[in-house]
Structure 1
């Protein structure tokens, strides 16, 4: 059964809210009487709620409309003033109550329309006030924008003037900067020239000092050798004079002319570089091949990594050593009178890798001890070989070359050895302009 009446037929449940709630209170009051008056069955279950549920008003309306006895009890328990006129008419239902209810409904609709119109007028007035306020605010903002625009124009004019002055000043500063930059470039170039001259002078001075030290050493060695030879001659002369006196005392006659007597040369006191033919420049490919080919029992000490790193830079270190030993084996077969010794930094943890050909041809490989550089091993080897054997040292390290030169060794640059072995140099720039120092 519908809880809502059609317009013009019956009031709505919302219009009857106050009357329906009054009916609920009448039912609750009846339960408290003695003896209690039982409410309708469909309403009894709703009275258990402490707070009456709004959704149950339709059910209350159905109970009141269906139960004439309960409706009569509610009418008797209420005063007309306790509920709305529409609710009382629906509840009491006097004669002609429907026409009166319709008249009240139409009047309520007119009042609602009037209230809606009044509210619309109020809203319009408020909207008008807001529009007028917004207009005034917009006018104030426009005036402020006009003032800011005028100020911006004034500032823009001043900024253009300042920019013009700044451009003039910047042009002058740029000109000064260019002049200063030119002076700086000239000063830097002059400094570079001075530094290059200083470096060349320092190199020449170092070379001169090295040559002076070498000459002083050679002079000391020559004086020592001269003194030793003079002492030997004096000793031999004294011995001869003594033998002559003894012979004369014994009555022997001396021949008119002495037979030539072979006097063995004194043992060398220091090593000297193997001589080169006139016109053959030292530390060249031709000079190195001449030494390898002609000097008997020649010892060639090679700075291993110093040579290997220049031709096989992209290979692992172990493979570089393999390649170098193979090439030295081929070189040893060409110059069988020379002894080739390669010195590396570190310990030979993989000695067995040495190519059999290189080992059988007499190419020796040595490794420095922990904490000792290969440079020191090469310099010390120069002192270990007999002084009558010539030594060639292959290295580009200045300390090794200087130490070897002081010990009477010939010097060959690694680039020359690589050329003799038919190899290309991976880093020719690193040797550009190399001089024997």
Structure 2
């Protein structure tokens, strides 16, 4: 132990002071009554669990001013922490030692340079307190984020419940309509049975009348032969007049056909049935002034989502082309990327019968981009000055409310915007996995 006149410029750190008082309180309880310093004799009579708490200030003051009492406490520390006290006496600090224990042992045993050890412990404790404050702030931010996510999840659950309620109401309406249809079928079957009975009765009456009819037929045949002879004579007389009437009919039909063709051209009536996505402003493959810009790829999601969406009747699947190809096979050229994706989408369109539209980024080019779109797949390039994200949103807006729409893109902004418009976003990785299954 050493007391070479060294001292502290500042009071002990609170945690170190509490540790020193705790050790001194334990030593105080084991000291003979005659050896207890007079200021601490009443405190020594306290219950051991209350001694350090109630006598903290007098014990700390006695340690600071009574060298003999401090050395007695230091002897107890040397017995309790021999390795730590020995290392401090040699001028080294164990790497794993707690700063509070190091400072407490240094203050009590007073090895060379003990004030520096106390100050180092003070610095370590302040840094730990600062780190604890930062950790608490980070935990507070995480709690706020968790609360926001929970609120968002609750809103999603509420929307799902409303949709379920609407689906149940629709199901009830369909059941009622099915019941009405079955009633109509039963009524039709009863009417058919009545008609079958009437038919059988009519057949009986016809059989009874068959004999009389045969006699009448023979008489009528004779009259028919006379009529045919008279008709032949009349035909020869009317043949020239009938030829004139046929010509008039042909002229009238030609005039009606020409009038209908002219009216169709004047009104600009379409010759084929179109769909909403066909009217969205975009650049089709093969037109000049089109180039390709690779898209971005983002995160993963539930692998069963795409299969469930493809099972919905009349689904419109809109694909962010380069977003998918850059995720699945970025090492290929853009032309090979487009060809590989469109080939897979063609097979998917045949298997699921879904309406498929594939969108690529476009810009000015000196020549057209040659794309062979498979049957059932609509291919569109964004116009100059427009990105594929905007074209995808326009395609979603073009669909009527209630139409089932899925947008394949890992772009977070695209996914959030189409979700607000009523479409269901699907990560690009899910489509790549689905195409990989074939």
Q: TM-score range by the shorter chain?
A: 0.3 to 0.5
Structure-2-length-normalised TM-score: 0.37
Which one has the largest radius of gyration? 1
Structure-1-length-normalised TM-score: 0.37
